[in-house]
Structure 1
Amino acid sequence: MPVGIIINALSVLLGGIFGAIGGRKMSNNFKDGLNMAFGICSMTMGIYAIAPMKNMAAVIFAVIIGTGIGLLIHLGDLINRGAAKMQQLISRFVSSPTGLDQKTFDATLVTVIVLFCASGTGIYGALTEGMNGDATILISKSILDFFTAAIFAANLGYVVSLIAIPQFIIFIILFLMAHSIYPLTNPAMIFDFKAAGGVLMLATGFRMVQLKMFPTADMIPAMVIIMPISWLWMTVILPML
């Protein structure tokens, strides 16, 4: 049962409702302070995931090659376009709140959709739970997502809660895919996979505190190629060294 995915979707749903009702009373200093805390929490989760890795070279190769692939195919732009189409569908049912022009509303909503539906942490968490049932990453992410949804809902309104629906669908698809891949893996490959996800969580943390805007969306392919590279490193390259 995808417990982490259900909790994560509920956190966005409830956080959006909470923010729409009382979030307007949050001061800008309070919001900025929370965002800084979110960033350091993401970095902490990343460091925790990286620590047990087995093949550092494989992880580094995967991150570099995966990011290169993402940049070449403009994955970040593709994700933004998909989010824009999703935004158009959602906006048919919910209009922009009073005091917020439609252009700003649309641009911010696209950002929120990408954040909740296509973040490296979310994808990594869904895949991890699908492979070994570990919901820790998604449960930790849910705490951050609840308050993030509340902050965005303070400006965007109840529309933020609706993002829980596509998020749940996307994560369930990833969960089912990972569930079928897990029997083909070994413990070392799993640790390297977690380490690659940890790198993305570190990059996300840097973006949250606005220290460095890493292309986290373009780094997502690293999560796809890390296991084949880890297997290749252990079975082909290491015996030759």
Structure 2
Amino acid sequence: MQGPLFNSAALVVGGVAGAMLGRLVPRRVKEALPLTCGTLSLGIGAVLVNKVNALPAVSLALLGGALIGELLCLERGLEFILGWARRRLERFRPRHQADPRADGFVVKFVTITVLFCASGMGIFGATHEGMTGDPNILLAKAVLDLFTAMIFATELGYAVALIALPQFAIQGALYLGATSLMPLTTPAMLADFSACGGIIMLATGLRICGIKIFPIVNMLPALALVMPVSAAWARLFA
């Protein structure tokens, strides 16, 4: 479980370091680093797509997964949960102490919690390590999260480091669940799973860079479909 451990540790270190540095980080650095992170996500995605075994199977899984995600309105549901969490957190603050900066803190903190805990890269990386034993995806995410957490913590403080707890719980659960599926997989299925995750990471990179806002959450069901579709494709067209 190297990936979840290193990823969560990087989040803690980045959160603490950013809180300590505070406003010493120039604005141009805060604007440039997310673009670099998006570019890195694009590069990792391109490498993973190159591992594809049956491109038609991956395409069917992505189309089917995106259709399921859109019909279930997964991304819209996540936005609803964010709004609900924000309202719940605001109840703990007396109304006479209303502060626009505090409102901004609640919104940003809940948003980055989802960013770190429910990202396509994190979900795919933990599942990928559980099935293949390869932690490189989450190790790369750890590097990205280190600097991303540092940037957010310059504004939100030490609270950013606390997000490591739910992140580790989610990634650890995905890792353990994927480990139990490993005996049922084949090298071809794993290759198509990696390619499917790579395409989602390409979309994530484009979204981080602000080039195109893909509905990443709606694409995630494809990760559950790709291996069964890959196995069926191999049986039909082997």
User: How big is the shift at 1:171?
Assistant: 0.6
Count, aligned residues: 234
Q: For the structure 1 residues 88 and 171, does the alpha-carbon distance in structure 2 shift closer, same or farther, using more than 3 Å as the test? A: farther
Deviation string, structure 1 residues 28-66 (Cα, Å, up to 9, x no partner): 211111111111100000001110100001111111111
Alpha-carbon distance in 2 for matches of 1:92, 1:157? 21
User: How big is the shift at 1:122?
Assistant: 0.3
Where does residue 220 of structure 1 map in the other structure? Answer: 220
Q: Secondary structure at the match of 1:158?
A: helix
Letter matched to residue 43 of structure 1: L
Letter matched to residue 156 of structure 1: L
Give the stretch that moved more between structures: 106-115 or 204-213: 106-115
Where does residue 28 of structure 1 map in the other structure? Answer: 27
Mark the runs of 5 or more structure 1 residues left unpaired by the alignment. none
Deviation string, structure 1 residues 98-135 (Cα, Å, up to 9, x no partner): x8623222221122011111111000100011112110
Q: Secondary structure at the match of 2:226?
A: helix
Letter matched to residue 62 of structure 2: V
Structure 1 segment 1-241 matched on structure 2, within 5 A = 2-83=1-82, 101-236=101-236, 238-239=237-238
Contact 1:16-1:149 within 8 A present in 2 as well = yes
Q: For the structure 1 residues 81 and 168, does the alpha-carbon distance in structure 2 shift closer, same or farther, using more than 3 Å as the test? A: farther
Alpha-carbon distance in 1 for matches of 2:146, 2:86? 20
Letter matched to residue 206 of structure 2: F
TM-score by length of 1: 0.90
Letter matched to residue 115 of structure 2: L
Alpha-carbon distance in 1 for matches of 2:26, 2:87? 29
Mark the runs of 5 or more structure 2 residues left unpaired by the alignment. 94-98
Give the stretch that moved more between structures: 217-226 or 24-33: 24-33
User: How big is the shift at 1:23?
Assistant: 3.6
Contact 2:89-2:106 within 8 A present in 1 as well = no
Q: Secondary structure at the match of 1:53?
A: coil
Alpha-carbon distance in 2 for matches of 1:164, 1:91? 22
Alpha-carbon distance in 2 for matches of 1:17, 1:54? 42
TM-score by length of 2: 0.92
Q: Which structure: greater helix fraction? A: 2
Deviation string, structure 1 residues 176-203 (Cα, Å, up to 9, x no partner): 1100111100000000000010011111
Q: Secondary structure at the match of 1:217?
A: helix
Alpha-carbon distance in 1 for matches of 2:120, 2:155? 25
Deviation string, structure 1 residues 117-172 (Cα, Å, up to 9, x no partner): 11110001000111121100000110000000011111111111111000000011
Identity rate, percent: 41
Alpha-carbon distance in 1 for matches of 2:101, 2:211? 29
